[in-house]
A and B are shown apart, each in its own frame.
Chain A
Amino acid sequence: MNETFVEVRGAKLFLRRDGAGEPLLFLHGVQGLPGWTDVLAKLAERFTVIAPDHPGFGHSDTPDWIDDVGDLAFFYLDVLGALANGRVHIVGHSLGGWIAMAMAIRSTAQIQSLTLIDAAGISVNGVKRGDMFIGSPAETGKLLFAGEDVATRWAGLWQSSDEMKEIYDKNRAAAAKYTWQPRLYDPQLARWLHRIDVPTHIVWGEGDFLIPPAHGEELQRLIPGATLTRIAGIGHLGDIEAPSAFAEAIVPFIAGLKP
């Protein structure tokens, strides 16, 4: 696996890259990426996986001209232009799904397909999302995972070194910047989702208490031709909780697309 920085419009973006095949941009969620996860490794068996830390997260810069998901969307369209990989498959998880949709309503010229997993970005009337900021680490773990052991392991992972602790705080601050108010959605996003004109697959963990599965159904209604796959027994962080099931839910859709 190759780790590099790419500079786009003066901001340094940290990229992890591995694999061969068609390019796949993996956009991580509100929790950030703890590293090259099992899911990324599985996806890299089939695709050229490019997994950045979003601006403000992980090892990437925090440019003062990126304030919200709309800015992130334009920025990543510029990133795609700079990487010049041709048209990419985007797999967007949580916040990353929101960014992917915000990119696609602006332009799909560089996008082959969208895979939206437990995506933030919209609000569903009468369905309450969880608050990942207010609770103790244990309470937040319950929002993010269906199982308890994995929640404990996940919390421990971010405490495993001084560097990880620092990245944890940095990621939380960036997550707040992009998602605090309105919490985890943009009221204007839903009204433009009809513009998405690339194949779209929605994947949801049935045990997601941060962004409950009703959001997936609503996205399917709003995005033309989108399909929906539910995975039983996993929560918001399905990539961490059940990497194999997660990868199996993602890969066939993308691999089955005609170039």
Chain B
Amino acid sequence: MKVLFFHLMPYADLDLDYQKKYRTDWVILPNTYFDPQKGHALYNRYLDELELAAELGFDGVSVNEHHQNAYGLMPSPVVTASALARRVKTAKIAILGNAFGLRDNPLTLAEEHAMIDVITGGRLISGMVRGIGAEYYSMGANPAYSHERFHEAHDLVVQAWTKPGPFSFEGKHYRFEYVNVWPRPYQQPHPPIWCPSLGSGETVDWASAKERRYVYIQNFSPVASVIRYLNLYRQTAERLHGYTASSDQIGWAAPIYVAETDAKAREEAKIHIERLFSKYLNLPFEMMFPPGYLSINSLKAMRAIKRPAIAGGTMTIDHLIDAGIFLCGSPDTVRELLVGAHKKLGFQNFLANLHFATLPRDLTEKNLRLFAREVMPALQALTDKEWQGMEVAAAE
């Protein structure tokens, strides 16, 4: 299994009383809440943590994109990935993801990804996402065209990476007389494309198509959803697309905290992981799902849940651990959990969010080192031999 360290880079110095005046830390929270001096220290600390992860033997380090919020300070993950490109010597650098369809010109991202890929000698993993609903407010992109633009931007970018230029592209949303991206990507035909998702049958169907076979990552979800969607990927590949998906095509991303004992892990992580959900991922329904962002049927399903599983509210650490959203405990506990999940699901990619919300520097580094020493080697040794196989999963 490949294990990556995934950093969200939150604004840890956020005034946590902001909710007295603002109902969310996304889009409408004034940027006067951001102190550039503190931001300077945070960015450099977070980049140090990513570099440390690479030194500790993680297979990759990962960054992502969010706009106008305190949850993640990477409106351009290309900037953070570029800052890592020469300091991280051998590990993969994963941008999970960039929202190509949010851009009026996705070719600028295609160029930037190609540059990083060439600079790193082919160590870029290119994530493609639609961006969450709030992004459509902050980027002025029409959510009603979110699916269309995602697919069209994808087609444009993959063609730009693979088809000899110059050529012209005439889509509904994107039209270019000259597509001729210099540099071409180092990896051929193009950098691996990963699709992180909060759980979507449509994304699974699209990513698993025979001509794409993109890596699907189930992100920030109750373990029940992880089981559902990772198995769905294999089933969709088999039944709908007519091939057997490899275990390298699926993965799981989750916040993790390990400490010397289960009790100590809970004690140290509690306040920070609860803040991740109550203070940072504090997204009202209308911002999470602007009109048109979901199909009418998906929206209906989402309304039925009342509150999406991940957003806002006061989720306790006990609930988060019980639901399998947060993996927390001693190295033995967390290792057993992950090895057990792998036995069931066989995923060959795991993204560990070893920093979240306000987790301070010392605890983050301890978490990173302990995970890397006590948990990660057992995961990296896992192959399809340790997976129970689909037949057993289907029989359960």
Contacts and interface: CB of A to CB of B under 8 A. Distances in A.
Question: Are A and B interaction partners?
Answer: yes
Interface in A80-118: none
Interface in A160-186: 165-166, 169-170, 172-177, 180-181
Nearest to B173: A67
B140 to A, nearest CB: 5
B291 A133 contact: yes
Contacts of A169: 291, 296, 299-300
Nearest to A173: B292
A188 interface: no
Contact of B292 (A134, A165, A166, A176): A176
A222 B319 CA distance: 60
A134 B27 contact: yes
B137 interface: yes
A135 interface: yes
B90 interface: no
A136 interface: yes
A177 B145 contact: yes
B321 interface: no
A134 B296 contact: no
Given A136-B284, A181-B140, A176 B290 contact: yes
B142 A181 contact: yes
A137 to B, nearest CB: 9
Contacts of B296: 166, 169-170, 173
Most buried by A among B137, B144, B145, B285: B144
Contact of B286 (A133, A170, A175, A180): A133
A180 B27 contact: no
Contacts of A173: 144, 291-292, 296
Interface string A223-254: 00000000000000000000000000000000
B299 A176 contact: no
B284 A180 contact: no
B28 A134 contact: yes
By secondary structure, the B interface counts as helix
B302 to A, nearest CB: 10
Interface in B1-31: 27-28
A134 B140 contact: no
Contact of B143 (A136, A170, A176): A176
Contacts of A136: 284-286
Contacts of A165: 300, 303
A177 B292 contact: yes
A176 B289 CA distance: 12
Interface residues of A, number: 16
A162 B144 CA distance: 22
Nearest to B134: A134
A181 B300 CA distance: 25
B144 A176 contact: yes
A166 B300 contact: yes
Nearest to B141: A181
B287 interface: yes
Contact of A175 (B136, B140, B291): B291
A173 B142 CA distance: 10
A18 B35 CA distance: 61
B132 to A, nearest CB: 14
A176 B286 contact: no
A172 B133 CA distance: 14
B27 A177 contact: no
B111 to A, nearest CB: 24
A133 B142 contact: no
Contacts of B299: 169
Contacts of A176: 142-144, 290-292
Interface string B125-169: 000000000001100111111000000000000000000000000
B300 A180 contact: no
A69 to B, nearest CB: 13
A134 B137 contact: yes
Most buried by A among B27, B140, B290, B291: B291
Interface of A: 133-136, 165-166, 169-170, 172-177, 180-181
Given A133-B290, A165-B303, A181-B142, 15 more contacts: A133-B291, A134-B137, A134-B290, A135-B286, A136-B284, A165-B300, A169-B299, A173-B291, A176-B142, A176-B144, A177-B142, A177-B145, A177-B292, A180-B136, A180-B292
23 contacts: A133-B137, A133-B286, A133-B291, A134-B27, A134-B137, A135-B286, A136-B285, A165-B300, A165-B303, A166-B300, A169-B299, A170-B296, A173-B144, A173-B291, A173-B292, A174-B144, A176-B142, A176-B143, A177-B142, A180-B136, A180-B142, A180-B292, A181-B142
